[in-house]
Amino acid sequence: MQIVIVGASRLGCRLAQQLATAGHKVAVVDPRPEALDQLADDFPGQRVVGVGIDLDTLARAGAASADVLIAVTNRDSANIVSAQVARQKFNVPQVIARIYDPEAAQAYRQMGISVFCPTAAGLEYILSLVQGETGEGEV
């Protein structure tokens, strides 16, 4: 698969490394060149310096032929706009956005965007630990 990751965050870089290792063609987009330096020296994918909501930047990253776009910047607004642009302008079949605000995440799900909300996931997990509903471990 061809995958575009918007945001060279800790999560974005780890996703990129694992997906590339699994044999996928991966491009990572971030406006900060130093953020892209977090990728391993032997990262086989593409590093694209630019803003993940910009049409030209997304085109350089291969959005027109991407199977998946994953937006994992540290800003909800940037993630949702990247997801919307990928879906509406590039017809990317699967778009995923990390959204920290649980209420906004629900609204975006209703718009047909796959959303991961670490705030909600963390809340549920911690509550289950406190209430003894799960064993110790990692999420």
CATH of the domain at 74: 3.40.50.720
Q: What is the pLDDT of residue 102?
A: 87
Structural domain tally of the chain? 1
- In this prediction the pTM is 0.89
User: Is residue 51 in some structural domain?
Assistant: yes
Q: Using CA atoms, how far apart are residues 114 and 55, in angstroms rounded to an integer?
A: 21
Counting beta carbons within 10 angstroms of the beta carbon of residue 87, is it exposed (0 to 12), middle (13 to 18) or buried (19 or more)? middle
In a domain, 137, yes or no: no
In angstroms, the CA 59 to CA 54 distance is 9
Q: What is the pLDDT of residue 103?
A: 85
Q: Looking at residue 137, what is its pLDDT?
A: 56
pLDDT digits (tens, 9 = 90+) for 73-94: 999 999 999 999 999 999 999 9
Interhelix angle 118-130/102-110, rounded to 10 degrees, is: 120
pLDDT digits (tens, 9 = 90+) for 49-65: 999 999 999 999 999 99
pLDDT in the model for residue 139: 55
Average pLDDT over residues 108-135: 86
Q: 9-18, 55-64, 108-117 — which is least confidently predicted?
A: 108-117
CA gap 17, 3 in Å, rounded: 12
φ/ψ (deg, to 5) at 112: 90, 15
Tell whether 109 is covered by a domain: yes
Range of the domain at 51: 2-130
Query: Which of residues 134 and 82 earns the better pLDDT score?
Result: 82
- Which residue type, as a one-letter code, is found at position 113? I
Rounded to 5 degrees, what are φ and ψ at 4? -110, 125
Each residue's pLDDT tens digit, 92-104: 999 999 999 988 8
pLDDT at residue 105, rounded to an integer: 83
